[in-house]
Amino acid sequence: MNPTTKRHWKLSIMPKESFLANRIKSVGFALKGMFLLLKTEASIKIQFVIALCVTAAGFYFNISPTEWLIQLIAIGLVMGIEGVNTAIEKLADYVQPEHHEKIGFIKDISAGAVMIVSILASIVGFIIYLPKLF
């Protein structure tokens, strides 16, 4: 039996994990990633504190259900894009530890995406809360 056939034979007799077991593992990896992000990245910590503050403000000012939805989408977008930005930066640093113009360009674009959603999320916050303050 050649090595390739032997490997296929071993794979075919190994029990497959169920769909549910795979989903549970995936959720576990995602939660691990979320906590790593919150634990290790200063920018996401700041954004998390801001998210907590605007959430508290939402309760204080009794914002409408529509305002809640828009606010939660804005928070999710900022934090999600920040996570993607962090992953891109870590991968770029792994692939090219030394300074490289093309890697810098990629990292700048990734950071720019975070800036775009952060500015728009701030505008959403101003639209929701400025009328309530004045």
Beta strands in 11-129 (DSSP E): none
Catalytic residue among 17, 67, 82, 101: 82
Q: Is residue 101 a known part of a binding site?
A: no
* Residue 101 designated active-site: no
Is residue 108 annotated as involved in ligand binding? yes
82 labelled binding-site residue: yes
93 in a labelled binding site: no
- Tell me if 8 is assigned to a ligand binding site: no
Q: Which residues are known binding-site members for a divalent metal cation?
A: 41, 89
Q: Which residues are known binding-site members?
A: 41, 82, 89, 98-100, 107-108
Q: Which residues are known binding-site members for substrate?
A: 82
Indicate which residues carry an active-site annotation.
82
